[in-house]
């Protein structure tokens, strides 16, 4: 099958999947009695740097629409990231999910959550750990009987390597990620910003966002506005579920290791940081709370994402239709209410 034909076929399949998934949701994503087939998912993440990756993984595990097959650490810090992933999966009772070590050196990234895994040994993980996470991504996609959704929330050197090794993965997968800045920058500012996941490795992002698979992204325009405050945050902070307690503990550890901690030592008690990556998880199965536009996006060499008529078109979440409803959805899923 030619790449263009494959892209058209996958787009049709995924349009059907998202339509089915959306039938389970009201404006606050409340489930109904309809239970469509789960979407097979791989998560590629630079978990352990910004805390939003941890929130995203926890959310993913609370979404019955998604069938998580593999989680791979991205952008260096191979053992640290894989250990975080493995301990979170074990805490959730989901050791049926494979863990992969990504490419990159151990010096890349930070280790602000290392305290949480200081006594955890990756060799103790009861499930499967792949030393070559890139090959695990390829094998999971190529061996799947149906298209796989690749949720990517890091700088994507793993994805670049996977596409170089096996270009056909673009014929059997859909790419959903947290990337770029289209019309607004960090904090909703009116000028675009060089968003971290792109500027950390523009070359890899150029490869991922120009390959012939269906692409959906949440740029800073939408994901950069997500926070939990007040009663919404308190509902998560005070949740007695051991898995959510683990999330809150990770957030507290991460914040204590922040350069901003001395200025606001109680922030972890009052509200969340920006939960960028959680929006990519949401977009893997639903889009109704966002305004979606098909835009041609090009990644520049200096890490900007610009609208260029000659670039590949992708589905972009450019605005919120109801940010409050998304926050409610996030709280309900994390605390087990929905």
**Number of domains the chain contains:** 1
Is residue 136 pLDDT above 60, yes or no? yes
Split at pLDDT 50, 70, 90, the class of 110 is confident
* 8 A C-beta contact, residue 55 and residue 277: yes
pTM, two decimals, is: 0.90
Angle, helix 133-142 to helix 157-165, in steps of 10 degrees: 60
Least confident range from 34-38, 127-131, 146-150: namely 34-38
Work out the widest C-alpha separation in the chain, in whole angstroms: 57
Q: Give pLDDT tens digits for 29-59.
A: 444 335 578 999 999 999 999 999 999 999 9
Cβ partners under 8 Å of residue 133, min gap 6: 72, 73, 82, 100, 101, 102, 103, 158
Residues 83 and 250: their CA atoms lie apart, in Å, by 13
Cβ partners under 8 Å of residue 337, min gap 6: 331
Least confident range from 8-22, 68-82, 111-125, 146-160: namely 8-22
Is residue 66 pLDDT above 70, yes or no? yes
Split at pLDDT 50, 70, 90, the class of 106 is confident
Nearest CA-CA partner of 58 in 107, 91, 23? 91
Q: Structural domain of residue 31, as residue ranges?
A: 3-335
Side-chain half-sphere CA neighbours of 159 within 13 A: 34
Q: How far is CA 214 from the centre of its chain?
A: 16
Average pLDDT over residues 68-75: 97
Nearest CA-CA partner of 248 in 70, 91, 13, 29? 91
Q: Give pLDDT tens digits for 237-261.
A: 999 999 999 999 999 999 999 999 9
Give the pair of three-digit tokens for residue 30: 């409340």
Residue 88 confidence (pLDDT): 98
User: Residue 86 sits in a domain of what CATH number?
Assistant: 3.90.245.10
């Amino acid at each position: 099958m030619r790449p263009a034909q494959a892209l058209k076929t996958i787009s049709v399949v995924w349009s059907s999947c998202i339509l089915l998934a959306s039938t389970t949701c009201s404006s606050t994503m409340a489930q109904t009695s309809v239970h469509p087939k789960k979407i097979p998912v791989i998560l590629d993440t630079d978990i352990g740097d910004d805390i939003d990756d941890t929130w995203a993984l926890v959310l993913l595990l609370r979404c019955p629409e998604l069938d998580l097959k593999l989680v791979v650490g991205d952008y260096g810090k191979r053992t640290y990231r894989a250990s975080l992933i493995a301990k979170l999966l074990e805490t959730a009772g989901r050791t049926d999910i494979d863990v992969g070590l990504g490419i990159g050196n151990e010096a890349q990234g930070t280790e602000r959550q290392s305290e949480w895994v200081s006594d955890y040994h990756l060799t103790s993980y009861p499930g499967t750990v792949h030393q070559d996470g890139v090959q695990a991504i390829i094998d999971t996609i190529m061996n799947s009987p149906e298209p796989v959704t690749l949720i990517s929330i890091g700088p994507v050197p793993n994805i670049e390597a996977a596409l170089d090794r096996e270009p056909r993965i673009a014929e059997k997968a859909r790419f959903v990620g947290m990337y770029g800045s289209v019309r607004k920058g960090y904090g909703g500012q009116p000028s675009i910003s060089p968003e971290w996941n792109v500027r950390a490795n523009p070359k890899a992002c150029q490869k991922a966002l120009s390959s012939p698979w269906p692409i959906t992204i949440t740029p800073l325009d939408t994901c950069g506005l997500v926070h939990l405050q007040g009663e919404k945050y308190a509902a998560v902070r005070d949740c007695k579920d051991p898995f959510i307690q683990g999330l809150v503990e990770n957030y507290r550890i991460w914040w204590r290791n922040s350069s901003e901690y001395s200025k606001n030592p109680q922030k972890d008690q009052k509200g969340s940081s920006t939960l960028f990556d959680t929006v990519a998880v949401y977009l893997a199965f639903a889009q109704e709370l966002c305004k979606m536009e098909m835009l041609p996006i090009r990644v520049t060499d200096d890490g900007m994402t610009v609208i260029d008529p000659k670039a590949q078109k992708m589905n972009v979440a450019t605005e919120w239709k109801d940010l409050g409803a998304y926050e409610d959805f996030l709280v309900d899923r994390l605390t087990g209410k929905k």
